[in-house]
A and B are shown apart, each in its own frame.
Chain A
Amino acid sequence: MKLSVWTYEGPPHVGAMRVATAMTGLHYVLHAPQGDTYADLLFTMIERRNHRPPVTYTTFQARDLGSDTANLFKTACQDAYDRFKPQAMIVGASCTAELIQDDPGGMAETMGLPVPVIALELPSYQRKENFGADETFFQIVRALARPVEKTERITANLIGPTALGFRHRDDITEVTALLEEMGISVNVCAPYGASPEDITRLGAAHLNVLMYPETGEAACRWMERELGLPFTKTVPIGVGATRDFIREVSELSGLPAKLDEARLRLPWYSASVDSTYLTGKRVFVFGDGTHVAAAARIARDEMGFEVVGLGCYNREMARPIRALAKEYGVEALISDDYLDVEARIEELAPEMILGTQMERHIGKRLGIPCAVISAPVHVQDFPARYSPQMGLEGANVIFDTWVHPLVMGLEEHLLHMFREDFEFHDAAGASHHGGAHVPREAGGPSAPHAEIPQDFDAPPEDISGQKKAPGEVIWLADAERELKKIPFFVRGKARRNTELFASERGMQEIGIDTLYEAKAHYAR
């Protein structure tokens, strides 16, 4: 057993749902207890789908346990077929049904349904959501795709986008446009938007574009072996990666590389003097392997940041991420425990986090700016506006997304630098947090301190609820005042370092001198 509050990934059958929901004309019959239907709302709420996911749950209850559940499954399967008349069905068990040892695949086979029924084996107690998606799509492809005649024009399949994927919708549009420019049209995009009938036509393409290794790699490898379809290894997120991707497509297709960069703005924006302050910003990168690898390259080579740490939660990508970390001279963090991630962020004290929804909250708690680069994400990261991550427009989107919290950070910095100024003071709050302006009360510079809305100096209370023990050394009043002059987002680190410095030297009190000696000591 392992205690967990937050999980980066759902169980594997949610991955199967992501494939089924992405497709049309496919129906998923899931042997699962009452309550597992909760997963529907991920699609109807977070992704704002306007239809129910094409999933029928058997919703067995305690009174059905015994011999009845097998029957229940068959009835549900037959009803689902009669009602939805899908071109193909997938059947499988959720974690609880895995324990009761009905065999959905075997049972569905004996029913003689007039459409292909694909059985899924998803080990719920070992694997997770991304595996579920990858495996499900692979099984569908394996069952349905056959060698067919190639299209006359050079075409490519887009492989990997699913429902509930981070920016998958717009990445498809962007990659389609990139290929179009080279004279390559899209044969089938799958699973997103594809029907089982489309899957049978996958072999007509000349190459596969593997958009997301997490959800499409097994299928691509199978198609390479069985259908002779080569697939791309570069994921076109970032300017450099997009250029590499175009070169790779050119090699695989034999067509000349073509990339019209007229609408690409990241390189100039990044080169303009306004961006100089981004130089060497210390960033920590965490998320799924694919997005982390892409983000690290952009961060270092295209934004001029310093990558001080990186890692991923999906162990399927552990090996490439470890190799990447070595290349960046940092230690990879492969963990699906957010407490590990939080500890690493605290230890590294980066100036910015590129991560998931979870890291956004860690950042909020630690007072570190954060931009979201990967699933799991919340509803606000399924935006109405066009916002791909891939290709040229993706690079523009990424520049804005990443710089935005930093500009805000700079704004807050200025606010704090001028904290003794008559217009800027702690109680005034940050301009983008929507608080009303609070004029400073008369009574000298010390007065507003009592009413600071968010005290960034307070020892942070971590998510697990432990109070961090404050340092045993005492801060003298003048040193405490000096500490307040340090921008809030590095103040916590300065406090910790100074306390460490003092305690290592057996000092009982911290004065201004100690503060600056520690600063000099830790200067990098």
Chain B
Amino acid sequence: MTRHTPPPPSTGCRNAPVLKQRGQHEVFCGLTGIIWLHRKMQDAFFLVVGSRTCAHLLQSAAGVMIFAEPRFGTAILEETDLAGLADAQNELEREVDRLLSRRSDIRQLFLVGSCPSEVIKLDLARAAERLTMKYAPRVRVLNYSGSGIETTFTEGEDACLASMVPTLPETDKRQLMLVGALPDVVEDQALDLLAQMGIEDVTVLPARHADTEVTVGPNTVFALTQPFLGGTHAALERRGARHLPAPFPFGEEGTTAWLQTVAREFGVDQARFGAVTDAPRARARKAVAKATETLNGKSVFFFPDSQMEIPLARFLTRECGMEAIEVGTPFLHRAVVGPELDLLAEGPQLSEGQDVDLQLERCRAAQPDLTVCGLGLANPLEAEGLTTKWAIELVFTPVHFYEQAGDLAGLFSRPVRRREALKLGATA
């Protein structure tokens, strides 16, 4: 492979024991996925059917973005909606009518289930069906659940994409499907690399616009760009598509391995693969090397958040020389992250799920040099003297593929450099 990356470990973490704990989870629910999904799907509107809490969550997570023409909102359940279920469908229809009459640009409408709507068993699937019939062909109405009782953070994207899969037109075409909402700039880079290798028949889920045809069928192979797409993975397999298991395109090594898997499937010869990837690989290595000066030899502890923890731990340990102490993930999907586990050398504690107080105790005992965690824990841990990297940024920021490898490493090195730079000794 490369001079800079250690060879794959003889025994990876695929069969390492996983610590499973049950207790308080300090995580977001799947509704949060809306915040970045609506940026990607430019003519979609996400209508959460839920409580004031759901609206408040979206507002808190969206920060100031809430004012920049948001294409999401919450139909807040009121007392009367709880009293009898009979008119809930009518109420919803009325709100959707109002919304769609105001927003003629909307082509896809997602009815997003929440904890309250799931608990009272509001039948959003039926509502979506009825509304689809009413608004066809202008607007397509789909539904999925982003509730906290069923989904954790990025699983919201998974549920959303999985809800789209059954509606995709069938095709027999031999094609590659890229699955996962990537920032446009990253998606363009990926498509460009694939095109240079001669892989032209590529379809992307989700597409930027509703009228971009995304098809699927028995001759479709798909590659995931995000590790949290287990449900979409299953839905695609049900449509006859075949998964290409690969490490995820984080860092130079991950991107190369990911591209290599696709290239092999499409019979791209090594010479051509090298011609396309050599230059960007060298660029990526060079960019990562800078951050490595700060990160080399430092230890890292991951709290569960997005399911990106295992690929990121692989990147940080293999390309940045860090040592992983614990890698927590909200959900461990072996079929999806298997290739990642093979590359991750044995050593770190893998944990699935969370009992946050116990995990905090382990973290304090380990005193890691860098702790990757959510915003609810970051400042309190900083105040205790631990350096943190807040995890949500990793979902919003372009971090995939070659050109972003340096930025990705930079996200982790910056808090470490900052702690070294500040000479105030303030731990609040």
Contact = CB atoms under 8 A, between A and B. Distances in A.
Interface of A: 1-7, 9-11, 13-14, 33-42, 44-45, 48-52, 56-62, 64-65, 76, 79, 83, 94-96, 99-100, 124-126, 128, 361, 365, 378, 461, 463-466
Given A96-B116, A125-B78, 11 more contacts: A1-B94, A10-B52, A36-B148, A37-B25, A39-B60, A40-B26, A44-B376, A44-B380, A52-B376, A59-B23, A365-B67
The winner among A94, A95, A128, A461 for most chain B CB atoms within 10 A is A95
Interface stretch (B98-106, B160-168, B201-209): B98-106
A4 B59 CA distance: 10
A45 B383 CA distance: 13
B227 to A, nearest CB: 19
Contact of A40 (B75, B81, B376, B382): B376
B387 to A, nearest CB: 15
B51 interface: yes
22 contacts: A1-B49, A1-B81, A2-B95, A4-B73, A4-B76, A5-B55, A5-B66, A7-B59, A10-B52, A11-B51, A35-B29, A36-B148, A41-B375, A44-B378, A44-B380, A49-B380, A65-B119, A76-B23, A95-B52, A96-B148, A99-B119, A124-B52
B118 interface: yes
Contacts of B150: 61-62
Contacts of A52: 376-377, 380
Contact of A1 (B30, B32, B95): B95
A58 B22 CA distance: 10
B53 A10 contact: yes
Contacts of A2: 75-76, 78, 95
A34 B149 contact: yes
Interface in B62-108: 63-64, 66-67, 69-70, 72-79, 81-82, 88, 91-92, 94-95, 98-99, 102-103, 105
A1 B76 contact: yes
B136 interface: no
A64 B150 CA distance: 11
B25 A34 contact: yes
B24 interface: yes
A44 B383 CA distance: 11
A124 B53 contact: yes
A34 B356 CA distance: 12
A5 B56 contact: no
Question: 6 closest pairs, A vs B, by CB?
Answer: A35-B29, A35-B148, A40-B376, A50-B383, A50-B428, A96-B115
A57 to B, nearest CB: 5
A3 B73 contact: yes
Nearest to B428: A50
A49 B147 CA distance: 28
A14 B74 CA distance: 18
Contacts of B63: 378
Contacts of A461: 69
Q: Chain B's interface: helix, strand, loop or mixed, by majority?
A: helix
B262 interface: no
B51 A96 contact: yes
Contacts of B118: 62
Nearest to B105: A465
Given A35-B148, A38-B57, A45 B379 contact: yes
A44 B28 contact: no
Contact of B60 (A4, A41, A60, A62): A41
A125 B55 CA distance: 13
Contacts of A58: 24
Contacts of A463: 67, 69
A1 B75 contact: yes
A6 B59 contact: yes
Nearest to A466: B102
A5 B374 contact: no
B57 A44 contact: no
A42 B25 contact: no
B125 interface: no
Contact of A35 (B31, B77, B382): B31
B263 interface: no
Nearest to B114: A96
A464 B102 contact: yes
Nearest to A75: B23
Contacts of B78: 1-2, 125
Contacts of A1: 49, 75-78, 81, 88, 91-92, 94-95
Contacts of A35: 27-31, 57, 115, 147-148, 152
B304 to A, nearest CB: 11
Given A1-B49, A7-B52, A96-B119, A465 B76 contact: no
A88 to B, nearest CB: 20
Find the residue from B32, B148, B377 having the highest chain A CB count within 10 A. Answer: B148
A335 to B, nearest CB: 15
A33 B115 CA distance: 7
Given A1-B77, A62-B118, A465-B69, A34 B29 contact: yes
B103 A465 contact: yes
B61 interface: yes
B185 interface: no
B120 interface: yes
Contacts of B393: none
A210 B161 CA distance: 52
A25 B56 CA distance: 27
Contacts of B265: none
Contacts of A13: 53
B357 interface: yes
Contact of B120 (A4, A48, A99, A126): A99
A516 B231 CA distance: 65
A96 B149 contact: yes
A268 to B, nearest CB: 37
Nearest to A5: B73
Contacts of B120: 99
A44 B379 contact: yes
A57 B148 CA distance: 12
A492 B354 CA distance: 55
Interface centre among A7, A45, A124 (most CB of B within 10 A): A7
Given A125-B77, A125-B82, A3 B24 contact: no
Interface in B8-50: 23-32, 47, 49
Contacts of A65: 119, 149
Nearest to A358: B67
